[in-house]
Amino acid sequence: MQELIRQMLADLGEDPTREGLLNTPRLVEKALRFLKSGYDANIDDVLNGALFTVDYSEMVIVKDIDFYSLCEHHLLPFFGKCHVAYIPTNKVIGLSKIPRLVDVFSRRLQVQERLTNQIADTILDKVGPLGVAVVVEATHLCMSMRGVQKQNSFAVTSAMLGAFRNNSRTRMEFLELIKLRSPVPGIRETMRAGYACVGED
Ligand SMILES: [Zn+2]
């Protein structure tokens, strides 16, 4: 991979042998391998020992989970906050495991919609709750850095399953609770809608 990165630098008109770029191929490879390390994680290992049987059926919410991911079209970052809620039937998952799940799916080449769905589907599958809700709000550098949709490089996506899909009061309760989120850095509070990267030039 380091040879490919040296080649890319040369194609971009750079001199890969100049002092500032000598370590770049090694550092880029290391960074990219970390940023795709979610492919290597096994969900069952991540959740191992953290599913508990309880007599509790109120909504569990973990909000403002920071995440960083790479857009699969441009290999540029998109990043922001993820909010997760579920309503247990008889099992809960250790709270620290939910940010770990977000890491597993964000450290891959992604699109925001798929990231959102994968987190929700995994919790539905592994915890068997009455419902799951996931909201992801993110800034896409592939849009803002390249000047595409500069004012709308912030996108909100959601996945609502089970009780969150079927019961509007449950869904509203969740949305009301995450409205008090901390702002995404650099994003105005009023920017709610926008476009995730869909891979256009
Ligand atoms: Zn992109």
Report yes or no on 166 lying in a domain: yes
Residues 102 and 132 in one domain: yes
Instruction: Evaluate if pTM is beyond 0.75.
Output: yes
Q: For the chain, how many structural domains are there in total? A: 2
Report yes or no on 199 lying in a domain: no
- Which residues make beta-bridge pairs with 131? 87, 162
Report yes or no on 138 lying in a domain: yes
Count the helices and strands in the chain (H runs, E runs).
Answer: 8, 7
Q: Exactly one of 83, 137, 142, 197 is catalytic; which is it?
A: 142
Residues 70 and 131 in one domain: yes
pLDDT tens column, 60-111: 999 999 999 999 999 999 999 999 999 999 899 999 999 999 999 999 999 9
- Which residues make beta-bridge pairs with 133? 85, 160
Query: Quick check: is 140 catalytic?
Result: yes
Mean pLDDT for all residues in the chain: 89
Could you list the residue range(s) of the whole structural domain that residue 135 is in?
A: 40-178
3-class SS string, 32-77: HHHHCHHHHCCHHHHHCCCEEECCCCCCEEEEEEEEEEEECCCCCE
Residues 70 and 7 in one domain: no
Of residues 143 and 127, more confidently modeled: 127
Residue 120, classified by CB atoms within 10 Å of its CB into exposed (0-12), middle (13-18) or buried (19+), is buried
Q: Could you give the CA distance from residue 46 to residue 200 in angstroms, rounded to a whole number?
A: 35
Query: Quick check: is 3 catalytic?
Result: no
Q: What integer pLDDT is reported at residue 149 of this predicted model?
A: 63
Write out the H or E segment, with its range, that includes residue 114: helix 112-127
Q: Exactly one of 14, 29, 72, 173 is catalytic; which is it?
A: 72
Q: Exactly one of 73, 113, 149, 173 is catalytic; which is it?
A: 73
Confidence grade of residue 186 (pLDDT, cut at 50, 70, 90)? very low
- Positive or negative: CA dihedral 177, 183, 189, 194: negative
Residues 163 and 101 in one domain: yes
Distance 54 CA to ligand 1 centre (A): 42
Q: What integer pLDDT is reported at residue 56 of this predicted model?
A: 85
Q: Could you give the CA distance from residue 148 to residue 145 in angstroms, rounded to a whole number?
A: 8
Residues 60 and 142 in one domain: yes
User: Residue 91 has what DSSP assignment?
Assistant: E
Which residue in the block uniquely carries the two structure tokens 């989970």? 65
Q: What integer pLDDT is reported at residue 150 of this predicted model?
A: 63
pLDDT of 185 higher than 60:
no
Confidence grade of residue 49 (pLDDT, cut at 50, 70, 90)? confident
Residues 21 and 117 in one domain: no
Distance 85 CA to ligand 1 centre (A): 27
Of 15-19, 178-182, 194-198, give the lowest mean pLDDT range.
178-182
Query: Quick check: is 83 catalytic?
Result: no
Q: What integer pLDDT is reported at residue 170 of this predicted model?
A: 92
pLDDT of 32 higher than 90:
yes
Residues 104 and 130 in one domain: yes
Q: What integer pLDDT is reported at residue 42 of this predicted model?
A: 93
Q: Could you give the CA distance from residue 121 to residue 140 in angstroms, rounded to a whole number?
A: 23
Residues 153 and 107 in one domain: yes
Q: Which of 69, 182, 96, 174 is nearest to 132 (CA)?
A: 174
CB atoms near residue 124 (< 10 Å): 16
pLDDT tens column, 130-155: 999 999 999 999 888 887 766 667 88
Residues 62 and 110 in one domain: yes
Distance 68 CA to ligand 1 centre (A): 13
Report yes or no on 98 lying in a domain: yes
Residues 140 and 53 in one domain: yes
